[in-house]
Amino acid sequence: MLIKIYPENPNERAIEQVVEVLKKGGLIIYPTDTIYGLGCDITNPKAIEKICRLRGIKPEKANFSFICHDLKHISDYIKPIDNTTFRVLKKALPGPFTFIFNANNNVPKLLSSNKKTVGIRVPDNNIARCIVKELGNPILSTSIKDDDDVIEYSTDPELIHEKYEDLVDLVIDGGYGDNEASTVIDCTTGEFEVIREGKGNIEEYL
């Protein structure tokens, strides 16, 4: 199923429809402020296993990130952070960053058996954030990779739908996506260590 949602003013009924799919353990493909993401409800172990099968990885080895609605939402899943880190997050989010933190006990057991960290995103995209707000907890997310070596990420939602319609329950057409991923930053030591350069420049917020 492909549904059109406009990022400027996401339709409430459409957002509710997406959330229903997630609550039933469905997989969705949705827009962010960078590339399109593949996501599910983090509280649903069967859905997490489905995403892992689709990506060909084991849950405990997966580097998924959590899409959160805001800073308060983030604090539910990470160990306490210092004021300096908090101030940087406040300036940089919502934005094209994935911040890696030490995870607390709220991170689902399926994902934290071997890992003590969690990647957190608050994308600057109304559709993604409205879905998470309505759902009441984060979406587990991974990027949509393309098999083509030249085009690493698919940007056209209709082409994404053609490719994934038999593998996921719903694809959101939120307009063309970006083809540059988020910048990944490790914050587990209290420093800001860039692990992957992407769309965001953290230097602007330090």
Residue 58: the pLDDT is 79
Distance CA 57, CA 79 (A): 26
Give residue 25's pLDDT. Answer: 97
Put residue 175 in one of left, alpha, beta given phi > 0 → left and psi -120 to 50 → alpha: left
The pLDDT of residue 150 is 55
pLDDT of residue 114: 61
Residue 65: give its domain's CATH number.
3.90.870.10
Q: How many CB atoms lie within 10 A of CB 190?
A: 9
- The predicted structure's pLDDT at residue 179: 87
The pLDDT of residue 59 is 73
Number of domains making up the chain: 1
C-alpha angle 76-205-71 in degrees, rounded to nearest 5: 15
pLDDT per residue, tens digit, the chain (206 aa), is 999 999 999 999 999 999 999 999 999 999 999 999 999 999 999 999 999 999 888 777 777 899 999 988 898 999 999 999 999 999 999 999 999 999 998 888 777 656 689 999 999 999 999 999 999 999 999 987 666 555 667 789 999 999 999 999 999 999 999 889 999 999 999 899 999 999 999 999 99
Look at residue 154 in the predicted model and tell me its pLDDT.
Answer: 78
Q: Tell me what pLDDT residue 63 has.
A: 78
Q: Is the pTM of this model over 0.75?
A: yes
Both structure tokens of 44: 């649903």
The sheet that has 193-196: what strands, in order across it?
2-4, 170-173, 28-30, 37-41, 139-143, 65-67, 117-121, 97-102, 183-186, 193-196
pLDDT for 6 equals 94
Domain housing 97? 2-204
pLDDT at 165: 92
What secondary structure, in 3-state letters, does the chain show? CEEECCCCCCCHHHHHHHHHHHHCCCCEEECCCCCCEEEEECCCHHHHHHHHHHHCCCHHHCCCEEECCCHHHHHCCECCCCHHHHHHHHHHCCCCEEEEEEECCCCCHHHHCCCCEEEEECCCCHHHHHHHHHHCCCEEEEECECCCCCCCECCCHHHHHHHHCCCCCEEEECCCCCCCCCEEEECCCCCCEEEECCCCCHHHHC
Taking residue 125's Cβ as centre, other Cβ atoms within 10 Å add up to 24
Distance CA 114, CA 76 (A): 20
Locate tokens 């940087």: which residue?
88
Report the half-sphere exposure of 203 (CA within 13 A, side-chain side): 4
